[in-house]
A and B are shown apart, each in its own frame.
Chain A
């Protein structure tokens, strides 16, 4: 969501007239959870058009629920899920194609569009671009926050090579002006899959948004005031917990570290953010965190992007938990680095985030995310945090300056502008 927000703002700052086509607020609140405060950071020049996603799925008024849905909400969900792929081959989202395409066409008729940028997932977000290209010849950019058919864990291909969604992706890529990916390994994978389109593939990495990191008075992080080991440290995780992250290993490592380190025995491990990708918290993750409650582990709920600085200020050090994958960078790694705080990088070195933190002066990586190695890293990080001075934080933040979002986006937006200008001159 923050990548999309930053992209729209970056285009607007660059002088483009930007219209964002998105779902209604209700949709985000009910399905994925939302961050309404972050709307304050939308550039006022950006026009927002909102259309409902799937009204019946979002319904909270139980009078509107059918007997079939009540009989088994799981079966009802499953059936809806299966039906959703009729218009667009993406389960759970495909039914949004028609309203999206209709709204995009209406926007174009009101104020002619020169370029469409679709950001996915969901991949149905590429449908308006494809439609406007087919009917009106408008170029489009595919911005992949993930990847449609790449299995992030194995590096293999999801779905059948000649399956419907694969054929559609090929058509989309064939007609796209550019396709953006969040890191080099994903771009390379796509280049192997679609070699004749490789020249149109670009890496537009995530980055930290300076605007969110300067909210509020940044007392301790700004001047790098060292932590007080006498009162114990607060080590924090801020971000969504999902997928195959080494959460149990980290919690077990924390428990061992508490038994071996007096500082950590006095310290707290705090988790902030959503549990899972949906508005309903992942019960398994919640139960796992609860299992370690007596070990100084607490879960304190999600945080608005506008409040992240206050949360980082309450932490003395950070833990970065990511699934093992050479294709996973994450968004939070950039923000973590921008804080200048010590980072326990508890993910496999193969993970793409490793390359982002290479050179960061306060990182405590593990060779393998096992409880033993994580415990050792916790202890090393606590020792460092307890003895560090203001200069350590300042040096780390200075190093991270190159990871800002603008540094990634601006060059591509400039290039797009030039290409469109050249097309106009050439026509």
Chain B
């Protein structure tokens, strides 16, 4: 008898992964919760994060992008003080809007870190579904589905809370 194909879901977690999560009510429906329900346990969850120290008990693998040094672009941006400016701009709405337009937009920083990490890229290409858990990771998930590395990609800001709570039947 042939075992049913396991669905490989990659959760992309940005810099806010260490913050307390908003949580999800058991009865609420989110894209990740639907995937869990549809897979009926035949689902492998892997995590690629920018550096959360949280433990994901049910995940098959957790790759941290911050374990490798930043890209040349990011080192250059840091050396000219762009990150310090971003921190200041993050404190007010227009500043956050301006931050989102330039090279230090969190989504671009995440994408560069992902591209620089061969293991993470391999994980992404080997996944069936990519789930962006915050706005910071939407660019990576969007590009991966448009480049056909994955079959589907979702933005699900409650996915991390769901994965942390380990509510659904994760893979053994």
Q: Does B71 contact A (CB under 8 A)?
A: no
Complex contact B132–A37 (CB within 8 A): no
Q: Which residues in window 11-36 of B have CB below 8 A to A?
A: 16, 18-31
- Nearest-Cβ distance from residue B118 to partner chain A, whole angstroms: 23
A34 to B28, CA, bound (A): 7
Complex contact B22–A62 (CB within 8 A): no
Q: Does B127 contact A (CB under 8 A)?
A: no
A269 to B29, CA, bound (A): 29
- Nearest-Cβ distance from residue A300 to partner chain B, whole angstroms: 7
Complex contact A289–B20 (CB within 8 A): yes
Q: Does B126 contact A (CB under 8 A)?
A: no
Q: Does B145 contact A (CB under 8 A)?
A: yes
- Interface locus among A114-122, A259-267, A278-286, A313-321: A278-286
**Which residues in B have their C-beta under 8 angstroms from that of A286?**
19-22
**Which residues in A have their C-beta under 8 angstroms from that of B107?**
70, 73
Complex contact A33–B22 (CB within 8 A): yes
Q: Does A287 contact B (CB under 8 A)?
A: yes
**Which residues in B have their C-beta under 8 angstroms from that of A112?**
none
Complex contact A281–B21 (CB within 8 A): yes
Give the contacting residue for A63; candidates B29, B30, B153, B158; CB below 8 A.
B153
Complex contact B96–A74 (CB within 8 A): yes
Q: Does A151 contact B (CB under 8 A)?
A: no
Closest to B161 in A: A301
Give the contacting residue for A75; candidates B30, B101, B161; CB below 8 A.
B101
Closest to B140 in A: A62
A300 to B20, CA, bound (A): 9
- Nearest-Cβ distance from residue B37 to partner chain A, whole angstroms: 14
A281 to B28, CA, bound (A): 15
A-B interface contact total, Cβ < 8 Å:
103
Q: Does A274 contact B (CB under 8 A)?
A: yes
A285 to B100, CA, bound (A): 22
Determine the interface band of chain B, counting residues with CB < 8 A from chain A.
35 or more
Q: Does B47 contact A (CB under 8 A)?
A: no
**Which residues in B have their C-beta under 8 angstroms from that of A60?**
31, 154-156
Given contacts A274-B22, A279-B22, A281-B21, contact A33 B155 (CB under 8 A): no
Please, what's the 1-or-0 string for B119-135, where 1 marks a CB less than 8 Å from any CB in chain A?
A: 00000000000101001
Give the residue among A34, A59, A60, A287 with the most B Cβ atoms within 10 A. Answer: A60
**Which residues in B have their C-beta under 8 angstroms from that of A280?**
22, 157
A289 to B107, CA, bound (A): 26
- Nearest-Cβ distance from residue A354 to partner chain B, whole angstroms: 30
Closest to B143 in A: A70
**Which residues in A have their C-beta under 8 angstroms from that of B18?**
290
Determine the interface band of chain A, counting residues with CB < 8 A from chain B.
35 or more
- Nearest-Cβ distance from residue B97 to partner chain A, whole angstroms: 5
Q: Does A304 contact B (CB under 8 A)?
A: yes
**Which residues in A have their C-beta under 8 angstroms from that of B161?**
301
Please, what's the 1-or-0 string for B139-162, where 1 marks a CB less than 8 Å from any CB in chain A?
A: 101100110000011111110010
Complex contact B27–A36 (CB within 8 A): yes
Please, what's the 1-or-0 string for A341-380, where 1 marks a CB less than 8 Å from any CB in chain B?
A: 0000000000000000000000000000000000000000
Complex contact B100–A70 (CB within 8 A): no
Complex contact A72–B105 (CB within 8 A): yes
Closest to A63 in B: B145
Please, what's the 1-or-0 string for B76-96, where 1 marks a CB less than 8 Å from any CB in chain A?
A: 000000000000000000001
Closest to B132 in A: A62
Closest to A59 in B: B155
A274 to B132, CA, bound (A): 21
- Nearest-Cβ distance from residue A317 to partner chain B, whole angstroms: 22
Q: Which residues in window 38-91 of A have CB below 8 A to B?
A: 59-63, 65, 70-75, 78
Q: Does B138 contact A (CB under 8 A)?
A: yes
**Which residues in A have their C-beta under 8 angstroms from that of B135?**
73-74
Given contacts A62-B141, A73-B100, A73-B138, contact A302 B20 (CB under 8 A): no
Complex contact B97–A78 (CB within 8 A): yes
**Which residues in B have their C-beta under 8 angstroms from that of A25?**
29
**Which residues in B have their C-beta under 8 angstroms from that of A302?**
22-25
Complex contact A36–B28 (CB within 8 A): yes
Closest to B159 in A: A60
A61 to B130, CA, bound (A): 11
Taking A37-B25, A62-B132, A279-B22 as known contacts, 19 extra A-B pairs with beta carbons closer than 8 A to each other, sorted by chain A number, are A29-B29, A34-B28, A36-B27, A37-B27, A62-B145, A63-B145, A73-B107, A73-B138, A74-B96, A75-B100, A78-B97, A274-B22, A281-B19, A281-B20, A287-B19, A299-B23, A301-B24, A302-B23, A303-B25
